[in-house]
Amino acid sequence: MTSTPSRTAGPPVVTLTMNPTIDLCWEVDRLEAIGKNRARVRSVAVGGGGINVARHVVRFAGRATAVHTAGGEVGLRLNRLLDEEGIDHLAVDIADDTREALVLFETGSRRSFHIVPPGPRLHPHEGERCLDLLERLLAGHRSYVVASGSLPAGLPDDYYAAVARRVREAGSRLVLDTSGAALPAALAAGVFLFRCNRTEAESLTGRPVSGFDDARALNERLLTTGAAEIAVTTLGALGALCSTVHGHTELHAPPLPGEPLSDAGAGDSMVAALTTRLAAGEDPVSACALGVATAAAAMLTPSTEPFDVEVARSLRSQVRTATRG
């Protein structure tokens, strides 16, 4: 396990990434089906839900520590890239290699193609070591913990449920942003805040979620069953619905000041802005408004490149809200 120097105080935001990646971003003028496509390296960066969130928390002047797995030569490179970027992180060594993903950006069409492998298989004891590290990091500190991204093979479907229990026992608050088989078990355990997009919402409801009324039905169910204290369902270009015991607030996305280029990373960007403001003591609706603005700003950047923080802040004033009982 590698780590940055020890701190005298726990970070207000801790992120957990069980299946990180190194994103290799290449660009071509035009993708051709025949012959060689000559590519240029656009960027090489560490990705994965929780790591992306930690990166953006810091960009919003917050403090964060990213807990993540790292395996093989790719894992060593991942740790080195995080050190070079200045992201505070703690790595749990695993036997299998960390994954690499390819992002191909076609400059002519300004389209992005994301090619993502499933990643390593973790042994149960490696997952347990991540839980133990998280528990030690939270000891004596009240933090926000963001569990984001997919679970790698080998971990049980109730792994995020175990995370939820450890976080609660530590007196901290879990923000969950995941999908697939791990989602129902985690919600059954209960989380502080759950963010889902349309696809994830539809997997929970079994029917289309096309607007605010559909999102309200889901959010009400999440609140009344104790699955979440705060439910945020994002609705693409419409915006998001933020629901608490005090009511439901529609947050309408601001008009984009440019052409949308990619939705990759919009969700992580939103969660980062939202959690940063919650950690600073802001109310959920105001925090969510910055999240909606930040997701919009992320749409203006190609591939997985980071959004412009100042653009996100400027769009915040254009997020319209409507509160329903």
| Lowest-pLDDT choice from 5-19, 22-36, 130-144 | 5-19
**183-215 as b/e, with b when 16 or more CB fall inside 10 Å?**
bebbbebbbbbbbbbbebbbebeeeebeebebb
pLDDT, one tens digit per residue, over 85-143 is 999 999 999 999 999 999 898 998 888 888 999 999 999 999 999 999 999 999 988 89
> How many degrees, rounded to 5, is the angle at CA 77 between CA 75 and CA 81?
115
Q: Determine contact, residues 228/187, Cβ cutoff 8 Å.
A: yes
Of residues 178 and 112, more confidently modeled: 178
Q: Is 95 left (phi over 0), alpha (psi -120 to 50) or beta?
A: alpha
pLDDT above 50 (res 196)? yes
The full set of domains in the chain, from first to last, is: 1-189 (3.40.1190.20), 190-325 (3.40.1190.20)
pLDDT above 90 (res 313)? yes
How high is the pLDDT of residue 304? 72
Going by the DSSP 8-state scheme, the letter that residue 238 receives in this structure is: G
Indicate which residues carry an active-site annotation.
268
Share of the chain above pLDDT 90, in %: 86
As a whole number of angstroms, the distance between CA 196 and CA 200 comes to: 6
pLDDT above 90 (res 2)? no
How high is the pLDDT of residue 5? 38
The model carries a pTM of 0.93
As a whole number of angstroms, the distance between CA 255 and CA 71 comes to: 42
As a whole number of angstroms, the distance between CA 267 and CA 49 comes to: 9
